[in-house]
């Protein structure tokens, strides 16, 4: 029987450049939160660049959009990290650093156990949510779909 992991992407549009004083508090917390993710139950992988985080990677045409991607063994593992750790406390302050999203900023989808998602996949999943809402192809925490074999 095939085994699946949960991929997630979230994007945010910065209010100012990443090296601005406004973003200093956010940037100062990145290493700690990323280390927490990597030590969390069910963590599999996360997107990172040369600086050990993904803030320097430009996946979208807009230079102010930053991306975060990760893979988790289960939905429960991702929810535990996202909502019940220091990560949740950092995200309570997100309006200080990021614009309020107009389109989908989060997408979740199931992947085969040993697959590493690409930025192209992530963009496609976000576009799908914007166009179709939550489906088995791409969904949100509010409308979760179970993995299926295609």
Kindly state whether residue 93 falls inside one of the protein's structural domains: yes
Kindly state whether residue 113 falls inside one of the protein's structural domains: yes
Q: Which two tokens stand for residue 64?
A: 């102010």
CA separation for the pair 79, 38 (Å, rounded) = 14
Q: Is the dihedral of CA 122, 133, 127, 34 positive or negative?
A: negative
Instruction: Residue 35: give its domain's CATH number.
Output: 3.30.70.100
Number of domains in the chain: 1
Which positions ≥6 away from 68 have C-beta within 8 Å? 9, 10, 11, 12, 46, 47, 54
Kindly state whether residue 57 falls inside one of the protein's structural domains: yes
Q: What is the pLDDT along the chain (150 residues), one digit of tens a residue?
A: 569 999 999 999 999 999 999 999 999 999 999 999 999 999 999 999 888 889 889 899 999 999 999 999 999 999 999 999 999 999 999 999 999 999 999 999 999 999 999 999 999 999 999 999 999 999 999 999 999 765
Kindly state whether residue 67 falls inside one of the protein's structural domains: yes
Kindly state whether residue 149 falls inside one of the protein's structural domains: no
The reported pLDDT for the residue numbered 42 is 97
Range of the domain at 58: 4-132
Kindly state whether residue 150 falls inside one of the protein's structural domains: no
Kindly state whether residue 16 falls inside one of the protein's structural domains: yes
Kindly state whether residue 102 falls inside one of the protein's structural domains: yes
């Amino acid at each position: 029987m095939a085994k699946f992991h949960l991929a997630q992407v979230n994007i945010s549009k910065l209010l100012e450049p990443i090296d601005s004083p406004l973003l200093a508090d956010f940037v100062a917390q990145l290493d700690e939160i990323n280390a927490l993710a990597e030590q969390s139950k069910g963590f599999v992988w996360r997107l990172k660049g040369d600086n050990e985080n993904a803030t320097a990677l430009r996946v979208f045409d807009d230079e102010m959009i930053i991306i975060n991607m990760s893979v988790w063994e289960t939905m429960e593992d991702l929810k535990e990290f996202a909502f019940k750790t220091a990560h949740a406390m950092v995200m309570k302050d997100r309006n200080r650093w990021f614009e309020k999203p107009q389109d989908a900023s989060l997408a979740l989808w199931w992947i085969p156990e040993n697959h590493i998602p690409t930025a192209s996949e992530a963009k496609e999943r976000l576009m799908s949510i914007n166009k179709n809402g939550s489906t088995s192809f791409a969904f949100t925490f509010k409308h979760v779909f179970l993995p299926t074999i295609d």
